[in-house]
Amino acid sequence: MNRFKLFPALAMAALAALPYGHAQAQTTLNVATAGDQNMVDYVNNYLAPRFEKMNPGVKVRAVGTGPGDAGSQKIYEKLSAQQKAGTTAWDIDVAVIHQRGAATMVGEKLLMPYRSQVNVDKLVTRDTATNALGANVDGYVLPMFHSQIAFAYNPEVVKAPPKSFAELAEWVKKNPKQFGYNGVKGGMSGVGFVMGWVSANAGIGEKLEKGPYDPGQKAAIEKSLGSLKEFNQYVVMTPGNAGTLDMLNRGEIAMGPVWVDMFYTWQADGKLNPKVKLSLPSPGLPGQPMYYVIPAKAANAQLAKKFVELAESPEVQAEGIVKQFNWYPGIDPQHVQSKLDAASWNKLFTDISPSDLARYGRPFPLSEYFTDIVEGYERVVLK
């Protein structure tokens, strides 16, 4: 029976699909995005249907290239190969990449300076739109969102979360094996924590963020990592960004650094104890934007610009970025707040106030310092 019912349905579907295939030439807009699966989901489930509706005959195809800097690295390698091969039309139209990737790609002329050619240019104000880890990326990038690392803690165990890294160091001695983080090889929340530690303890915080790069600072960095080695004796190492949240949820640790957006998403999905809260210690933990970029020889550059215009519009930033995916907006929050209901807006700032975020939300250190710190970590802390 079922088979007979199914057949006419299939035939109808095939017929319904036919006219489109013939009447309009399909253009495919290829969007490559680094980052976790939620980035691909965002493009495919949220942005693509809206863009396709506005632009009949256009199909958006999103591919994920993997989490962390590795994902941006893959996009870089592909564009670089097409550049070296002398290809005239590159097959990525829009890419979403990390700061380190953006710095490299701008340096190697792989990107198009498109910012002045889109109408959302003026909505973006944060300095990350011009400066990526010390590299000048002005004109080439627009932030899709900002994400922030913060301490997640279980208030049943931690009555008053440490307000600074110094307090944290004291706290772990009194509460051994209650703080967990994922080292430098298991994801960026661990890397960010290490960066925050060095910023707080090496006494060169400003220099790490603003430059100029001075290889002579290695000694100060390694000294601060020495104290981190001691700190590590009192903490638990977790398997990855998700691993920290898992252990918090199972009550195996009481505190650890996590990505704020992951934190909210997990809580919304019921994967994390709803009592767990966030706090941002002084002098701060790093956060980062993801950038929309358009490759220098993108095959569909005009469409790509329209795509970024949609993605950066206050409506999409409010509804998609903030409300559905729990990221901080990529454009100036003042344009977003008016498009959002108060509850959604407040949810994002319940534990961490906008002023704390402004004060303690820091950029990652310059690329060179970043490398010095993670390699120093391997040399001093792990060996």
Partner 1 sequence: MRGNEATRQQRTGLALVSPALGVVALFFILPMLMSVVLAFRGKNGGLTFEHMAKALDLYQNDLLFTVAITVLSTVGIAICAILIASYLTLGGSERTRTALRWLYRWPLFIPFIVTGQVMRTFLAKNGLLNHVLIGGGLIDPGSAQSLLDWRGIVIALVWKQVPFVTLLLAGAMASVDSQHIEAARNLGARRWQVLVDIVLPQVRGTLLVGLVLSFVTMLSVLSVPMMINPNSPTLITVDIAYRINTHGDYAVANALCLLSLLLAAGGAALYLRHAVAKAVPAA
Q: How far is the CB of 237 from partner 1 (least distance, A)?
A: 4
Owner of token pair 């009192």: 234
Based on the shown chain and the rule CB under 8 A, indicate whether residue 246 belongs to the binding site for partner 1.
yes
CA angle 137, 141, 143 (to 5 degrees): 120
CB atoms within 10 A of CB 84: 8
> Shortest distance, CB of residue 76 to partner 1, whole angstroms?
8
Closer Cβ to partner 1, 135 or 348, answer by number: 135
Per-residue tokens: 135: 């590299």
Query: 285 to each of 54, 150, 155, 262, how far by Cα in Å?
Result: 39, 7, 20, 16
Query: Residue 213 phi/psi, 5° resolution?
Result: -70, 135
* Closer by beta carbon to partner 1, 52 or else 375: 375
Q: How far is the CB of 248 from partner 1 (least distance, A)?
A: 11
**Which one of 46-54, 202-210, 243-251, 323-331 is the stretch in contact with partner 1 (CB under 8 A)?**
243-251
Least Å from the CB of residue 342 to partner 1: 38
CA distance 152 to 106: 35
Query: Which one among 12, 13, 70, 81 touches partner 1, defined by CB under 8 A?
Result: 70
Contact between 268 and partner 1 (CB under 8 A)? Answer: no
Query: Should residue 240 be labelled a site residue for partner 1 when binding is judged by CB under 8 A?
Result: yes
Reduce the DSSP state of residue 326 to 3 states and report it. coil
Q: Does 250 bind partner 1 (CB under 8 A)?
A: yes
Residue 27 C-beta: closest distance to partner 1, Å? 33
Report how many residues bind partner 1 under the rule CB under 8 A. 29
**Nearer CB in complex with partner 1: 11/70:** 70
Based on C-alpha coordinates, what's the Rg of the chain? Answer: 23
Interface with partner 1, residue 371, by CB under 8 A? yes
Nearest-angstrom CA–CA distance, 322 and 326: 5
Among the listed residues 30, 33, 65, 73, the single contact to partner 1 using CB under 8 A: 73
Give the burial class of 149: count Cβ atoms within 10 A of its Cβ; 0-12 exposed, 13-18 middle, 19 or more buried: buried
Closest Cα to residue 98, out of 134, 74, 68, 140? Answer: 68
Pairwise CA distance, residues 68 & 82, whole Å: 23
E strand residue ranges, 65-213: 94-97, 131-132, 135-136, 142-153, 180-181
> One symbol per residue from 165 to 194: x for binding partner 1 (CB under 8 A), - otherwise; what is it?
-----------------xxxxx--------
Does residue 383 bind partner 1 (CB under 8 A)? yes
Tokens of 363: 């950029």
Task: Find the binder of partner 1 among 170, 252, 315, 341 (CB under 8 A).
Answer: 252
Q: Which of 155, 219, 251, 275 binds partner 1 (CB under 8 A)?
A: 251
Q: What's the longest Cα–Cα distance across the chain?
A: 78
Is there binding between residue 239 and partner 1 (CB under 8 A)? yes
Site for partner 1 in 219-238 (CB under 8 A): 236-237
The least distance separating partner 1 from the CB of residue 114, rounded to whole angstroms, comes to: 25
CA atoms within 13 A on the CB side of 323: 17
End-to-end CA distance of the chain: 68
Closest distance to partner 1 from the beta carbon of 366 (Å):
15
- Can you name the residues that pair with 292 across neighbouring β-strands? 96, 142
Q: Tell me which of 61, 109, 359, 379 binds partner 1, using CB under 8 A.
A: 379
| Site for partner 1 contains 374 (CB under 8 A) | yes
Q: Which is nearer to partner 1, 205 or 240 (CB)?
A: 240
Q: How far is the CB of 186 from partner 1 (least distance, A)?
A: 4
Q: Which phi-psi region, left, alpha or beta, contains residue 291 (left: φ > 0; alpha: ψ -120 to 50)?
A: beta
Site residues (vs partner 1, CB under 8 A): 66, 68-70, 73, 76, 182-186, 236-237, 239-240, 243, 246-247, 250-252, 371, 374-375, 378-379, 381-383
